[in-house]
Structure 1
Amino acid sequence: MPDQKDILKNLKTSSIDRRFSIAKASFLAGTRWATSNATSFFASDEEKERKRKKVLTEQANYLVSEIGKLKGSIVKIGQMMALYGEHFLPREVTDALNTLNNQTIAVDWNAISPHLIQQLGNKINDLEVDPNPIGTASLAQVHKAVLKSTGEVLVLKIQYPGVASAIDSDMNLFKQMLRLTNLLPQTREFDQWFEEVRDMMHREVDYTLEAQTTLRFANYLKDDMRYVVPQIIEKYCTDQVLCMSYESGLPVNSPKVLSLSQQRRNKIGEASLEIAVKELFVWGEMQTDPNFGNYLVRLAETDEEVDKIVLLDFGAIRQFDEEMLTLAHNLIHAGYLHSLDQMVDAMKGYPFFDQIPENIKPDMAKVFLLATEPFSSLSNNSDIPEGIMNNQDQYDWKKSQLHQRVMQRASKSMASRYFSVPPKEFMFISRKFIGAYTFMTVIAAQANIRKSLNF
């Protein structure tokens, strides 16, 4: 629960209030930028660059602090830009935007309660709602509630009032803010990504869609005891309130989870990898937000039970067409074989790769071979560093430092400029697996990911 000192008394839901706040912040940041340029006129190139980065960092941090005060969709836009903007925005900007993920300011219950009553009507009398949120986010906050008739503990995900209707306006404000403060790259690719973020935002506030998706995933996993999906309580769901069963668990990085035996951590890691593989290759739809806040770990209390992963959020689900699924499968299979030729062949027929010069593709394939190292085996891949994979093909993610190695290889690659603007579907999948790899690294798990694939 957030510190009671950090409570937002009310939301600026009107477009005039929000527009004024952003315009004021943009003007002040833009003035700072212009002043910096004027005072750097006679400086050396090195000094100008140092000062440019310093001012860029300062104004990005300032704008992010102002954005955070508004809550709602403009914060979520910033979070998404932090996640995917590394290909379009300066490092100083994405670093500042990343701090939005740590903002836990709750909205005062007096501002939330009337909205909840308006949404539920007389059904609110069935519930005893805790006014202190157990979770806060940019678009909503979560409150525990008890069903008075049975004592059942529920959770209410309450969308902040005015969020859904403000998305398009906030998107335009965010883009205008970047432009006025010289933070916006003038590229067609950025505009395409911006529109993709707009679509994602509209999906995230569609609670009817999220409820349906949650039910669908619950059905997918109903026979697998390793996963917990909250039950949807339809009676108390509306367009802006999602009611679910309360599911307990520990954060992924909690000391209790990290102190489990190697075997138990391996089992939890295998489950986290397997669901990512099933989402992509079995169900054809994937939770694309790798935020650890979307997962909990419920520890077994007896020897007969298993440790479980609690899946909390289904608002960022994305479907993939057969062409993308086939491409992903072929790339991973080439990685399993650790074959440069097959990796190059796997790229054929997909427009993004077809437009890349033939002499560049082997260089790009080498990056993919490294990224798919966990899918290979000691018998197939003599390039695996010593001690990273054992003779049961269990891969040690923490020891591997795979993400850093892939980034270093990609940055040095002749194909680096083609990585700068990847297709959005490709980025969603890569982000998902980066999240899964990070999960494995945090809990120091060792697992054979190929168990989930028919290789």
Structure 2
Amino acid sequence: MNEKTLTTASPVPKSRASRLLSMGGLATKLAGNVLTEGSKRWIKGEAPSLNELVLTPKNMSDVADKLARMRGAAMKLGQLLSMDAGTLLPPELAAVLARLQSQGVIMPKTQLIHTLESSWGSDWMDRFNYFSFDPIAAASIGQVHKARTLDNNELAIKIQYPGVAQSIDSDIDNVISLLRLSGLLPRGLDIDELVDEARHQLHLEADYCAESRHLTDFAGKISNFSINCDLIMPTYFAELSETNIMTMSFIEGVGIEEWLKDHPEDASRIMGLMLELFFTELLQMNLMQTDPNPANFHVCPDTGKLILFDFGAVRQFDPQFVDRYKQAIDQAIEQNRAGLEAALEVLSFFKNGTDVANKAAVIDIFTIASEPLRSTTPYDFGQSDIAKRIHEIGMSVSKDPDAWHTPPADVLFLHRKMAGLYLMAAKHKAVVDTRTIYQQISG
């Protein structure tokens, strides 16, 4: 993790009441914007629809800014919706929610000190000979600070924003209500299972004790596989950790996006490692860090190894699910539509009443997504239009939201990771022998 200073500071609303008022303020602001924009256009003789008035750049910007400043579940839910339901959302909302992937707002120093004193006592600085009050990273749940112990251990200390763990359920309910009442979510779009799983996942991510167990478990399991020699993971410091503070060894590194921007010639190797890690997690460990946010991955400049940081979104897959999912992949590689349909049926991809066209669309998406695994030569992600083709099919399905069936949670989180890797590989024009990687790991 390399050091950088984040300067946008805003107090985190702590109580449920203050967070509810914050959402209420956003609703009032959106309504005011609709009235103002509507008046302007009616004076010009135009007759805009309510949907057009809601989906203005100003309203979309206000939504993203408010979710970023609230942090916690409000911001994280926006991130999940942008990745898991992006093809079914209005493009304006999908684009602005995608901004939350890289948007981080930090706590003011006074709130940070109060949080540390509440957890460690007023003499907390006696534990360190150095502590930086400028965070080196900020995300939806917390921010990270660099420190050094009295015996000169370099540390990365993740400090949870106050109030976010206690506000997860109310935040999610408030955000979904706002998006539905404002018309930002398409009428009839069923995201209940996604929302329930987001709620469960957020409670896990806010539990830093659980994350420390995930880190230890993940490091222990992956040490049995060949990719381990290309990875670096931090050491956990239990004596300096609390339920809202997670302390790990500081590892010098460069963010993967920054590294690939400066070293484009390394894109194929790095993305090959990322895909090898993905299939090792799924097929051999049945344990995966499911968050594809590039901020979770750094590169060691001296060795070129991947550095893994965040273990809040680690998910354990049932071996039976993994076996069934592998069957679906293998059928897709062979382009056996009947076999793929049967495999997806077992995985609960379809609901009763799903019409033939939508079932065919899901099979098409899965077949297209398996294209890199089918290629007999190294796959050129930079020349691929996989994302475009999948998006076009998704948009055709979105015209009939009632026929859309949200897949099981395991599938959603798995596809979120895979889609993130494909998009990163395409962005950096990686050429990867994906088929060989899959065959070697799947046996």
Q: Using the TM superposition, give the Cα deviation of residue 334 of structure 1 relative to its aligned residue in structure 2, in angstroms.
A: 1.6
Q: Does 1:395 align with 2:371?
A: no
* Structure 2 residues not aligned, in runs of 5+: none
In 2, Cα distance between the equivalents of 1:364 and 1:100? Answer: 28
SS in 1 for 2:223: coil
Q: Does 1:331 align with 2:333?
A: no
Q: Does 1:129 align with 2:131?
A: yes
User: Could you tell me whether the CA contact under 8 Å between 2:87 and 2:395 is conserved in 1?
Assistant: no
In 2, Cα distance between the equivalents of 1:140 and 1:414? Answer: 34
TM-score for both structures, normalised by structure 1: 0.84
In 2, Cα distance between the equivalents of 1:247 and 1:286? Answer: 21
Q: How many residues align?
A: 429
The equivalent of 2:115 in structure 1 is 115
| Aligned match for 1:368, one of 357, 366, 369 | 366
SS in 2 for 1:161: coil
| Aligned match for 2:389, one of 396, 405, 415 | 405
Q: Using the TM superposition, give the Cα deviation of residue 246 of structure 1 relative to its aligned residue in structure 2, in angstroms.
A: 0.7
Within a 5 Å distance, the mapping from 1:259-270 to structure 2 comes to 259=263, 261=265, 264-270=266-272
Q: Using the TM superposition, give the Cα deviation of residue 59 of structure 1 relative to its aligned residue in structure 2, in angstroms.
A: 2.3
User: Could you tell me whether the CA contact under 8 Å between 1:360 and 1:414 is conserved in 2?
Assistant: no
Q: Does 1:174 align with 2:175?
A: yes
The equivalent of 1:438 in structure 2 is 423
Within a 5 Å distance, the mapping from 1:272-287 to structure 2 comes to 272-287=274-289
TM-score for both structures, normalised by structure 2: 0.86
User: Could you tell me whether the CA contact under 8 Å between 1:279 and 1:286 is conserved in 2?
Assistant: yes
For residues 361-410 of structure 1, the C-alpha deviation after alignment (integer angstroms, 9 at most, x for no partner) is 455433322210111144xxxxxxxxxxxxxx211111123222332355
In 1, Cα distance between the equivalents of 2:187 and 2:310? Answer: 34
SS in 2 for 1:314: coil
Residue identity opposite 1:238 in structure 2: E
* Structure 1 residues not aligned, in runs of 5+: 379-392
User: Could you tell me whether the CA contact under 8 Å between 1:26 and 1:63 is conserved in 2?
Assistant: no
Q: Relative to structure 1, is the Cα distance of residues 243 and 359 closer, same or farther in structure 2, using a 3 angstrom cutoff?
A: closer
In 1, Cα distance between the equivalents of 2:367 and 2:209? Answer: 40
In 1, Cα distance between the equivalents of 2:34 and 2:338? Answer: 50
The equivalent of 2:193 in structure 1 is 192
Q: Using the TM superposition, give the Cα deviation of residue 117 of structure 1 relative to its aligned residue in structure 2, in angstroms.
A: 2.8
The equivalent of 1:384 in structure 2 is none
In 2, Cα distance between the equivalents of 1:401 and 1:156? Answer: 40
User: Could you tell me whether the CA contact under 8 Å between 1:364 and 1:415 is conserved in 2?
Assistant: no
In 2, Cα distance between the equivalents of 1:341 and 1:188? Answer: 28
The equivalent of 2:77 in structure 1 is 77
For residues 44-87 of structure 1, the C-alpha deviation after alignment (integer angstroms, 9 at most, x for no partner) is 9x9525x7425422323223323333333322232223233426
SS in 2 for 1:7: coil
SS in 2 for 1:440: helix
In 2, Cα distance between the equivalents of 1:77 and 1:395? Answer: 33
Residue identity opposite 1:408 in structure 2: E
The structure number with the bigger radius of gyration is 1
Q: Relative to structure 1, is the Cα distance of residues 444 and 183 closer, same or farther in structure 2, using a 3 angstrom cutoff?
A: closer
Report runs of 4+ in structure 1 exceeding 4 Å deviation.
34-44, 184-188, 255-258, 357-363, 409-420
The equivalent of 1:227 in structure 2 is 231
Q: Using the TM superposition, give the Cα deviation of residue 237 of structure 1 relative to its aligned residue in structure 2, in angstroms.
A: 1.0
In 2, Cα distance between the equivalents of 1:190 and 1:360? Answer: 17
SS in 2 for 1:144: strand
In 1, Cα distance between the equivalents of 2:234 and 2:28? Answer: 45
The equivalent of 1:153 in structure 2 is 154
Tell me whether 429-438 or 173-182 shows the greater mean CA deviation.
Answer: 173-182
User: Could you tell me whether the CA contact under 8 Å between 1:2 and 1:106 is conserved in 2?
Assistant: no
Q: Relative to structure 1, is the Cα distance of residues 414 and 96 closer, same or farther in structure 2, using a 3 angstrom cutoff?
A: closer
In 1, Cα distance between the equivalents of 2:348 and 2:384? Answer: 32
The equivalent of 2:241 in structure 1 is 237
Residue identity opposite 1:135 in structure 2: A
Residue identity opposite 1:78 in structure 2: G
In 2, Cα distance between the equivalents of 1:256 and 1:99? Answer: 20
For residues 135-173 of structure 1, the C-alpha deviation after alignment (integer angstroms, 9 at most, x for no partner) is 111221100010122x12111000012221122222232
In 2, Cα distance between the equivalents of 1:348 and 1:52? Answer: 36
The equivalent of 2:205 in structure 1 is 204
The equivalent of 1:390 in structure 2 is none
Q: Does 1:344 align with 2:341?
A: yes
Q: Relative to structure 1, is the Cα distance of residues 407 and 187 closer, same or farther in structure 2, using a 3 angstrom cutoff?
A: closer
In 2, Cα distance between the equivalents of 1:354 and 1:70? Answer: 36
Q: Relative to structure 1, is the Cα distance of residues 410 and 194 closer, same or farther in structure 2, using a 3 angstrom cutoff?
A: closer
Q: Using the TM superposition, give the Cα deviation of residue 352 of structure 1 relative to its aligned residue in structure 2, in angstroms.
A: 2.9
SS in 2 for 1:225: helix
User: Could you tell me whether the CA contact under 8 Å between 1:252 and 1:443 is conserved in 2?
Assistant: no
